[in-house]
Structure 1
Amino acid sequence: MLVAFDTAVVISTITAFAFIHAGTGLVVTQIGVAALWLAVLTVLRTRSIDQIGAGITEYKRVVNAGWLSMGIIAVVAVVLEINELRTVLLVAVPIGTIGLLGERWILRRWLNGKARSGYHLSNVVVVGSAVDVAYARAQLQRSAVTTYNVVGTIIDSASNTDRQVIENDHYGMPQVHGIEFTVGLVTETGADAVIVAGPLGGGSNSVRELSWNLESTETQIILVSSLTNVAGPRIRVRPVDGLPMMHVDLPSFTGTTFVLKRTMDIIGSLFALFLLTPILLLLSVLVKRDSAGAVFFNQERVGLRGSHFKMLKFRSMVANAEELKDDLRADNEGNGVLFKMKHDPRVTKVGEWMRKHSLDELPQFYNVLRGDMSLVGPRPPLPDEVAAYTGHTERRLYIKPGLTGLWQVSGRSDLPEEEAVRLDLYYVENWSILGDFMIMWRTLKVMLNGKGAY
């Protein structure tokens, strides 16, 4: 399907460009550009089975294919002095790349929809200690993208019997004790892959022998690294004499990418404030007419490297909300010191509606423009939250807090505290410009849905 749709998008883009750019008349050149572009998409493995359907790597490879195609076209245009190729370089390929990204997003939505219905999943058997197996299963089920369907588990333990003993775990799936029975369970369940969830009792030899035993079944082995919360682009594997060496790039908190991020913040916030001015004025009138008090609410939050700033929001509660908080503290449903109630009596009628769709946070584009916040980042914490930080939680402050972020698109106030911290730390360690665009896109859906907002 990807081959067919990619071909259709590329050919449609080049054909439309040739039709609009009347006078080109170089059919051979158009065919050559399309063939080159499709070849680059293939060479850069933009349709790799292990990347499509989840994560940002697929999108990054499509963008990289566009850049590489533009580079090759530029060289050919200069060497052969084909002036028409310059317009293709500046117009057709960038527009086509956007079309390819849109096509991939649509097909990904279709694939994920089928996966949620139980189709197009990889049936897997999870192998490891009881703790590692339980953790791997929990993470696979927690994932927003359904990819693997666990059809059985193998508990790595000393076997006291020479026969295969199968029992059902609490998920109702078959479970076997002893990795020597892996082949039998794989054959019985028809699994496509075996996930080794952690170190095995027999060491590295166990994994090697397991791979040899599974050769006859043509089952893939997937090794789960003990290094968690590290995004794929930061990991490179380089084998040295049969020993796979995993290189992990250190997270970056300065440099060119942060300049680009700040540039994106300035342009994005200016554009948003200009575009949303009528909506901001309307909401201001609604807030003022709904209840007595100021239109805006300033709340002290902690930003980059522990600096404090005033975060701007539309007032969504009664004017004396802070005075009433002590009377309601026993009903706190928030995470830690963050006070949250699903049915907070202090929230006004307009405020309840604004909160559901995150409209009360729109004035924070001004904080982004000022440099207090970023468009995407960790959730801006309260000073009391920061004072209660333990361990490495303060790493959330290594980059600017965001108007939106992984916390915003993953459940918001419904998330337990430890999961909210994990998502923020994951973002801090693995953020990227393309990842920010994906989070902003997902934010639009969350704003319309309103789930987890109170």
Structure 2
Amino acid sequence: MMLAVDLLGAAVPAGVLCAMANLPHPLWTGALIGAAWPLTAALRKRYAAGSLGESGAVLPVVRDWLVMLGVLAAVCVAARIEVPVASWLLALLPCLVLTAVHRRLVFRRTLARRRNARGLRRVLVVGEAAAVDGILARLAARTDNQYLVVGSCVTGGGAAGAGLPASVRLPGGPGGGEDADTVLRCATELDAELVFVAPGGRISGDWLRRLSWTLHGNGLELAVLPGLFDVSRHRVRLAGAAGLTVLHVAPAARHGLPALLKRATDVAGALLLSVLLAPLLLVVAAAVRLSSPGPVLYRHVRVGRGRVPFRMWKFRTMVNDADRMRREKEVPNEHDGAMFKLERDPRVTPLGRFLRRYSLDELPQLYNVLAGHMSLVGPRPPLPDEVEQYDDTALRRLAVKPGITGLWQVSGRSDLSWDETVALDLSYVDNWSYARDIDVLARTFRAVVSGRGAY
């Protein structure tokens, strides 16, 4: 289905547009583009079984489109075919849009099917009791993965898989042959198509190799879980040395070209938004000034990258003595962890509640971005007294600049617990990529319009 959409979505619009523009050979042009677009996607493994429906991101589609554009340009130069650049771009643009929209729809349909327990792969988990329980907990906490654990085979002592239909203890005989036969028997009885192995003290390389022989010889798949959590695939690289499989984990991008690209995007985006939203900024400023006594802008000290404090700007949404009321503990904290939040805060003005719902109070932070204190995308900027309560894990949130928006903004905002907020921020800090920033910016508009979790 995806292949047909890509082929027809490239060939038909290109042929029609070429015919309407009176360009030569519209049928051949449509056929060429119709073949080039799916071929580019296939060479970049977009139709592989493990890739279909697993992502709705736009940037991979754009990269494929640019590759195809470069290849077609090289062909035209080599064949001395003169085609107006504007006409080529107009003919090629529809396939980019159609493919991006279709893959997003397929991704959303895949997630919906998984939430309804459809289209899942049945998995048998093998490992020590604690490791098995950890895997079960992480898979059960999310409904967007494709795996359904149907049983476990436990090595060593301890009990695991109490809520599973089957949990078997491996005999642990010499050589691992008996263990492999037991795993195969359990997988067959439970109709599992994939076996997860969590390496531990009792699982050696020879043990894994013997298990792989047994499983692969009977048409079953084997996957080894290295024990890494929240590490994006772009940071992982496989290598070999002396027969060993080496898993390299790259550090998060902090310097060089990626950092320069992020800063350039911050400056350009903040400048553009400041100009485009200038009328709205003036209207909000006037409304704040007229609605309640006090200044239009609220300046507050927040903690930035490397625990460096800075003054953050916002439109005032509270009464004038709100900070005094909090210091004197006239308002309780309803949020768990090191973060202050109150859903029905009596200090918030009626206009302030509206501004917060649609994040309009955050717009002056565009100038914090231009000043270099903040980024368009990043973790939530914390208060100094919140940072004093941080442990070593939470302090890692301060390894990057805070952002006007972030994963916390598009994933629930104030409805998130403290642990969920930290987990999202750490995932961003450790796995930052330019593509992820663009994705968060695109998702922010929908989160702001919905107003969910904002107070």
Same fold (TM over 0.5): yes
Helix, strand or coil at the partner of 1:346: coil
Question: What whole-Å deviation, never above 9, does each CA across 1:332-355 have from its counterpart, x for those lacking one?
Answer: 133544221222222222323332
One-letter identity of the residue aligned with 2:126: V
One-letter identity of the residue aligned with 1:445: R
CA distance in 2: counterparts of 1:404 and 1:298, whole angstroms: 18
Q: Give the fraction of aligned pairs with identical amino acids, expressed as a percent.
A: 34
Distance 1:394 1:177, change over 3 A: same
One-letter identity of the residue aligned with 1:428: V
1:36 matched to 2:29 = no
CA distance in 1: counterparts of 2:145 and 2:285, whole angstroms: 41
1:169 matched to 2:162 = yes
Helix, strand or coil at the partner of 1:453: coil
Distance 1:281 1:398, change over 3 A: same
Cα shift at 1:356: 3.0
| Contact residue 125 and residue 151 of structure 1 kept, 8 A | yes
Helix, strand or coil at the partner of 2:125: strand
Structure 2: segments with no counterpart, 5+ residues: 172-178
Match of 1:145 in 2: 144
Distance 1:89 1:371, change over 3 A: farther
Distance 1:15 1:304, change over 3 A: farther
Helix, strand or coil at the partner of 2:298: strand
Moved more, 237-246 or 109-118: 237-246
Distance 1:360 1:29, change over 3 A: same
Cα shift at 1:419: 3.6
Helix, strand or coil at the partner of 1:339: coil
| Contact residue 187 and residue 217 of structure 1 kept, 8 A | no
Structure 1: segments with no counterpart, 5+ residues: 160-165
Distance 1:55 1:307, change over 3 A: farther
| Contact residue 238 and residue 246 of structure 2 kept, 8 A | yes
Distance 1:417 1:86, change over 3 A: same
Cα shift at 1:82: 0.8
Distance 1:371 1:381, change over 3 A: same
Paired residues for 1:245-256 under 5 Å: 245-256=246-257
Question: What whole-Å deviation, never above 9, does each CA across 1:424-443 have from its counterpart, x for those lacking one?
Answer: 23222221111111112222
Moved more, 303-312 or 107-116: 303-312
Question: What whole-Å deviation, never above 9, does each CA across 1:312-368 have from its counterpart, x for those lacking one?
Answer: 222222221111113447831335442212222222223233323333223322322
One-letter identity of the residue aligned with 1:338: M
Match of 2:176 in 1: none
Distance 1:258 1:79, change over 3 A: same
CA distance in 2: counterparts of 1:167 and 1:257, whole angstroms: 44
Paired residues for 1:168-317 under 5 Å: 169-170=162-163, 173-178=165-170, 180=179, 181-199=182-200, 201-240=202-241, 242-317=243-318
TM-score (norm 1): 0.88
CA distance in 1: counterparts of 2:262 and 2:154, whole angstroms: 46
Paired residues for 1:89-100 under 5 Å: 90-93=89-92, 96-100=95-99
CA RMSD across the alignment: 2.9
TM-score (norm 2): 0.87
Tell me the matched-pair count: 446
CA distance in 2: counterparts of 1:59 and 1:207, whole angstroms: 38
| Contact residue 14 and residue 29 of structure 2 kept, 8 A | no
Distance 1:139 1:282, change over 3 A: farther
Match of 2:134 in 1: 135
Match of 1:375 in 2: 376
Question: What whole-Å deviation, never above 9, does each CA across 1:348-405 have from its counterpart, x for those lacking one?
Answer: 2232333233332233223223322111112212223334444364443332211111
Distance 1:298 1:94, change over 3 A: farther
CA distance in 1: counterparts of 2:447 and 2:143, whole angstroms: 14
Question: What whole-Å deviation, never above 9, does each CA across 1:119-163 have from its counterpart, x for those lacking one?
Answer: 11222222222222222222223336232222223322369xxxx
| Contact residue 77 and residue 86 of structure 1 kept, 8 A | no
